Amino acid sequence: MIGEGLVSMTCANSHRWRFVAILAAVVAALVTIGPASRADDKPPTAAAVKSLLDGVREDLDAERPSAARDRFVKAIEALAALLGAEPPSPAARSLLDRARTLRDELELQGVEVDAIELPSLPRAAAKPKGEAPAKPAKSPAGGAKKGTVGKPAGGGVKSPASNAVSFVEQVAPILVRHCGGCHVAGRRGDFQFTSYDTLMKTGMVQKGAGADSRLIEVIRTGDMPRGGGKVSPDECALLISWINDGAVFDGTDPMVSLQNPGAAAAPAAIPAGAVKLEPGDVSFAFEIAPVLVKQCGGCHDAMQPDGNLSMVSLESLLRGGANGAPIVAGEGAASLLVRKLKGQEIEGQPMPLGKAPLDPEVIATIEKWIDQGGKLDLLTAQTPLATVAAAGRARSLSHADLLTARFEATDAVWRRAIADEEPTVITRGDLRLVGNLPESRLESLADLAEKAMEEVAETLGTTGRPLVKGGVVLMVFDKPYDYSDFWVNVLGDERPKGLSGKAGVSGDVVYGALVAPAVDSAAERADAIAVITEELAAAAFLARGTPDWFAAGAGRAVAMKVATKSALAKAWRSQAGERLQRMRRPAVVVEGVGGAADEALVGGAFLAAASGGGSRFKAILGELDAEAPFDAAFASTFQGPPAAVFEAWLSREGKKRSGNAGR
């Protein structure tokens, strides 16, 4: 009736003023009442909150931090209303987890988020510890059998025999099915867990805290798995229940492969680290790894290896496959690998399949290496065999020969990164710069790089001899997206946000890769020196076989010492303290699973404090050059293993912050 009255008034010219007055009164009333007081108002839906969070992600990806913050504030207000509803939405927890992740990313992009408080999950929405998850779908007859990781027919999750969730029968198959291609059989993004033991060491699982574990967080936020496959709600609930109940391992050996977690222990133990060889010892890096890469790599790679035997790394080789362990430590002649190569006392075909038999002398060398205990002399058991083989070549060649081989191999690495651009190349002694920017600009960077190389050599005590045997390559990318392509095409992962440079080793090439810094002003040149110094110092340590976390942290620490007055170095110091306070478990940095950005930021602050003004960098580099294994060299130089020294530093930093807060 109100509508009919309004229409009649608009039709009468003499009463238009009354219509305007009434319309104004109606609008005023609606404004006064507001949407919150309407009887039919409802809290926002989970879909609406998700849409807002999606918008935040879009703003971040488009580098619109201010817009992202404004939208995030709206998303948090809507999420708080959603959490306050009765009953809370089943999606509330996953949305809250996603909001936490986005808040961290906003902070990493320099957005002020301290004033934005995340709502808490009502107690009623949280399941009590130990509560059984929603009953998963049962596997029909013919599903995966105990001890296998095949996907049950119909895609369901196999029900446990009791209330306890079985790691062997239920958890491991889920992990292999959804994570196996990238992080079990492979090392995507330099992150891998091949067994229960290595999974727990990653820090992805917090015993007793299923919903708060990083493993569950990346699943719920949709960050993992990538490539289209999704973990079902039933599978996720089962994982949470397993973690809540203590993440118990019910197999026979927590070190065996996730691809066969119920198997017995492998006869050959995985080396804990590299050892120094005695005279007469066979070098795995120089004599064994190159043979395995050349003769076995095509069939026994990471993806669907023949006989389920992967030879991607020494660890995967020792774990064995469908026919058991290929190596029995100390018993070369009895080892399956040697018998297969000889074609003696075996079932099936001799190896290598489809190729000429190996020279008897080569087989004898492999047998001798096993008789001597299967020692690892460079890098780690988890390092790809191709990288180990390259390190073996580097140790055996002269500086001049390795310099030639390294510079020749650089072209192939560049073409993997950017196949359609011919690079500019500048060589300055032991340093080669390769980049897709004008020659004059690359020349300017080469001048700064020569100066930085001298500073690094002085800091590390290598003045008068090569900083890196065989030289270093700096790959310089004109645009950030070029550098992102390098990460995807060469490193096989997405570039971490906020990271514009990272040193590495690819086959014979020891490199630093970075986005070309500006050099137009004195301040810009100072920052450029810091960036280049970081890459060169990190490359120097990587070439000597240190873990990535140490090389990244040492590179950052040396750069802060050399370019102490640059604005960038000052920002690094400030950002390290801020990041450290936000980290849930900072020790992941020295465990090698903290991520490239944190390895540089937090690892740099740690090693800058622990290095004794740089003297300890000289000491550890000297020990590494004397072929001491990294763990032994670190313990000798820093008076303890990495984890203990790092925890002591954390304790001191905590006391400093407490003291400053009390002033």
Contact 578, 586 (CB under 8 A): no
Contact 238, 136 (CB under 8 A): yes
Cα 130 to Cα 225: distance, rounded to the nearest angstrom: 26
CA contacts within 13 A on the Cβ side of 408: 6
Measured CA angle at 635 (ends 634, 638), to 5 deg? 75
Helix H segments across 122-184? 172-179
157 vs 511, which has greater pLDDT? 511
Q: Taking the CB of residue 115, how many other CB atoms lie within 10 A of it?
A: 6
Radius of gyration of the chain (CA): 30
Q: Give residue-wise pLDDT tens across range 79-133.
A: 888 877 766 566 676 677 788 778 877 776 778 877 888 887 654 343 333 334 3
Extract the tokens encoding 281: 């010892």
Measured CA angle at 433 (ends 429, 438), to 5 deg? 130
Cα 419 to Cα 422: distance, rounded to the nearest angstrom: 8
- Amino acid code (one letter) for 152: P
The pLDDT, as a whole number, for residue 86 is 66
Q: Are strands 472-477 and 501-506 parallel, antiparallel or unpaired?
A: unpaired
Q: Give residue-wise pLDDT tens across range 480-539.
A: 999 999 999 998 888 988 899 999 998 899 999 999 999 999 999 999 999 999 999 999
Rounded to the nearest integer, the mean pLDDT of the chain is 82
Cα 597 to Cα 33: distance, rounded to the nearest angstrom: 50
Tokens 């949709």 correspond to 222
Q: Where are the beta strands (DSSP E) in 585-631?
A: none
617 vs 627, which has greater pLDDT? 617
Q: Taking the CB of residue 400, how many other CB atoms lie within 10 A of it?
A: 10
Confidence band of 234 (pLDDT split at 50, 70, 90): confident
Is the pLDDT at 9 greater than 60? The verdict is: no
Annotated domain spans of the chain: 2-37, 46-122, 153-244, 284-393, 397-661
160-174, 357-371, 540-554, 637-651: range with lowest mean pLDDT: 160-174
CATH class of the structural domain 397-661? mainly alpha
- Amino acid code (one letter) for 115: A
Tokens 């003499």 correspond to 14
Residue 630 φ then ψ, to 5° = -60, -50
Contact 336, 326 (CB under 8 A): yes
The arrangement of strands across the sheet holding 509-515 comes to 424-428, 431-435, 472-477, 509-515, 501-506
